[in-house]
Amino acid sequence: EEEEDHRGGPEQNNTKAPGRCGSLAMAAPDAHRDKRAKAGPVLYPMDEPLLRKCDALMKNLAKKSQAVHFLRPVDWKKMGLVDYPKLIKHPMDIGTVSERLGKNHYARL
């Protein structure tokens, strides 16, 4: 049998109420955050080993049967998709990415 604990009344919960920080005041969120690119070191530079890995990845993707629709750019005029340029601002396909990798277009990952 389990023994009951009659020492201090109801169980005490040591967690604080939601939204409270104890005696510390919460900092007000910034009204505006600078979203411009910061100058500094390039993170994940596209060196030769990384370029080879990316190239192998793109070749693997291109081999998949589901990739057939993503190998070439969409011919939106032929397909009659007049809203395509308005909706898709930066169209990209596997073939274009592979081509750009081969021409060292990407400076970083």
CA-to-CA dists, residue 19 to 22, 28, 85, angstroms: 9, 13, 45
Cβ atoms of residues 59 and 42 within 8 Å: no
Task: For residues 37 and 99, give the distance between their C-alpha atoms in angstroms, rounded to a whole number.
Answer: 26
Cα dist from 91 to 52, 82, 88, 96, whole Å: 24, 14, 6, 10
| Residue pLDDT tens, the chain, 109 long | 555 555 554 555 444 444 444 444 555 555 667 676 666 676 788 899 999 999 999 999 999 999 999 999 999 999 999 999 999 999 999 999 999 999 999 888 8
pTM: 0.57
Q: Record the tokens describing residue 14, joined without a space.
A: 């040591």
